[in-house]
Chain A
Amino acid sequence: MNDDLTQRVLTIIAETQRKDPALVTIDSSFEELGIDSMDGVNIIFALENEFNINVPDEEVKNIKSIRDMVEGVRRLTDLQEKPTA
């Protein structure tokens, strides 16, 4: 299922990687898209700006796939919407 958030993340990834958006799906692997570690850092920067979130370094180490990026953004934006205090 591609909800709005997923679509926004995929669009950002396609834009930063200068890829045809049709090629970027939630199940694409970094290898298929030719995304290396520096590309990953660049994508996270763009996602931080788009969603107004901060992705800690520890989280970055655990991101292994596009799906991890989508779920990570979802978790961080959920935290913003439902402050625990």
Chain B
Amino acid sequence: MRRVVVTGIGVLNAIGKNRTEFEQSLREGRCGIIPLTDPAHREFRFSNAAEVPNFNAADHFSLKEADMIDRFAQFAVVAAREAVAHSGIEWTSDLRENSAIVTGSCIGGQTTEDQGFFDVYKMGKPRVHPMTIPKTMANGGASAISLEFGITGPTFTIATACSSSAHAIGQAFHMVRSGMCDVAIAGGSEAPFSYGVLKAWEAMRVVSHDVCRPFSRDRNGMILGEGAAMLVIESYDHAQARGARPLAEIAGFGMSSDAHHITQPSAEGAAKAIRMALKDAAIAPEQIGYVNAHGTGTLVNDPTETRALHLAFGDHAKRLAVSSTKAMHGHTLGAAGAIESAAAIIALSTGILPATINFNEPDPDCDLDYIPNKAREAQVEYALSNSFAFGGLNAVLAFKSFS
């Protein structure tokens, strides 16, 4: 099997309009949670979210282009452009034909759909916009990236709720590792701030009234976020042949399904995915130095994830550095696995482990080292990114430092 490396990262979220800003914010522990900007979104039981500030499609697309794709697909293209530029890849006709695109999205373009349905149901309009279907489809981001670069290889989208983009990166990793393709663009994007979608989250009663405080005893829920991250993934040989400097190696990928409950997580299911990632990477638990946790900040997730880490790591769990960057960029749903993989790779390559910010007090049920409030300098060899979705679908990626 071939070694697989990451050679480019593109990020767009509440704490960074690009990778450099994201890296700086992770280091500083900046919180991107703000009151929802749309006045129509101010009547929920929660009022804060991690929006991408001042995103203007016209800064990135011609108006005609922007009209053709939903905000979540615009995010996907912006992140993919940055990842490709960062990787230094130059597209040849051969490379375009053989490269893959795998994206993740939880809800696709439901903002567009919501507007169309509002028009017909509430406003009594007789028709919705003809672009409603193509803008809503969850593969809108993957298709837009394909059009952007003229890539004609295997291109598709994975929808596994909050694990979507972790599954997407894992799938792309397998495709490159097996030799099916040399290069893949993989990641995810999400833009969930429409009235109907916010109403649906309100109904679940899992969204915090103030901020996201993962693993802190006074945590009171998640904060919804939007954004995207894309990785350029390629075989080590391909990267080496073109003189590219890998940012990290993708060492392993583990997947599992809880078969337990449609919304409640299971420590056993999560632990299984972690164990499978370690097995796939052929590494011992003791080799993992940092875990970018799923860490949603809900009452149920954080102690369950802590139990999963105990189950998978045994005695080593107490020596792990664990943090949830969702306290900074919110829970970006289908983009979360990609944004947090980017955070884990940045941690490996810079030697700075991001903190769990907004952490107030330890919880006896969350008894690990969560890097509270302040980033930490530490060179670690391997890092994990955990994603545990509603529906019980777990995806864990293992990255190796390339220094």
A residues lining the B interface (CB < 8 Å): 36-38, 41, 44-45, 56-57, 60
Q: Tell me whether A38 and B45 are in contact in the complex, defined as CB-CB below 8 angstroms, given that A57-B209, A60-B205 are known contacts.
A: no
Q: Does B300 contact A (CB under 8 A)?
A: yes
Known contacts A36-B264, A37-B300, A57-B205; can you find 15 more A-B pairs with CB under 8 A? A36-B261, A37-B264, A38-B261, A38-B262, A38-B263, A38-B264, A41-B203, A41-B204, A41-B205, A44-B205, A45-B203, A56-B45, A57-B45, A57-B209, A60-B205
Among the interface residues A37, A44, A56, A57, which one has the most CB atoms of the partner chain B within 10 A?
A: A57
In the bound complex, CA of A41 to CA of B261 (Å):
15
A residues less than 8 Å from B264 (CB atoms)? 36-38
Interface of B is mostly: loop
Residue of B nearest to A41 (CB): B205
Bound-state CA distance A57–B210 (Å) is: 13
Shortest distance from the beta carbon of B221 to any chain A beta carbon, whole Å: 8
Interface size on B, as a range, is 10 to 19
**CA distance in complex: A36, B300 (Å):** 12
- Interface positions of B from 20 to 47, Cβ below 8 Å from A: 45
What are 10 A-to-B residue pairs whose CB atoms are below 8 Å?
A: A36-B264, A37-B300, A38-B264, A41-B203, A41-B204, A44-B205, A56-B45, A57-B45, A57-B205, A60-B205
Q: B209 — which chain A residues lie within 8 A by C-beta?
A: 57
Chain A residues contacting B261 (CB-CB under 8 Å) are 36, 38
| Complex CA distance for A51 and B168, rounded to whole angstroms | 44
Of residues B203, B205, B300, which shows the largest number of chain A Cβ atoms within 10 Å of its Cβ? B205
- B204 contact set on A, CB distance < 8 A: 41
Residues in A neighbouring B263, C-beta threshold 8 A: 38
User: Closest CB of chain B to A20's CB: distance in Å?
Assistant: 23
Interface string of B187-207 (1 = CB under 8 A from A): 000000000000000011100
Give Cα A60–Cα B263 distance, bound, in whole angstroms.
17
Residues of B within 8 A of A38 (CB): 261-264
Closest B residue by C-beta to A48: B203
CB-nearest residue of chain B to A40: B205
Assembled-state Cα–Cα distance A41/B203 (Å): 8
Which residues from chain A contact B203 at a C-beta distance below 8 Å? 41, 45
B399 smallest CB distance to A (angstroms): 33
Q: Which residues of A contact B45 (CB under 8 A)?
A: 56-57
CB distance from A19 to the nearest CB of B (A): 18
**A44 to B205, alpha carbons, bound, how many Å?**
11
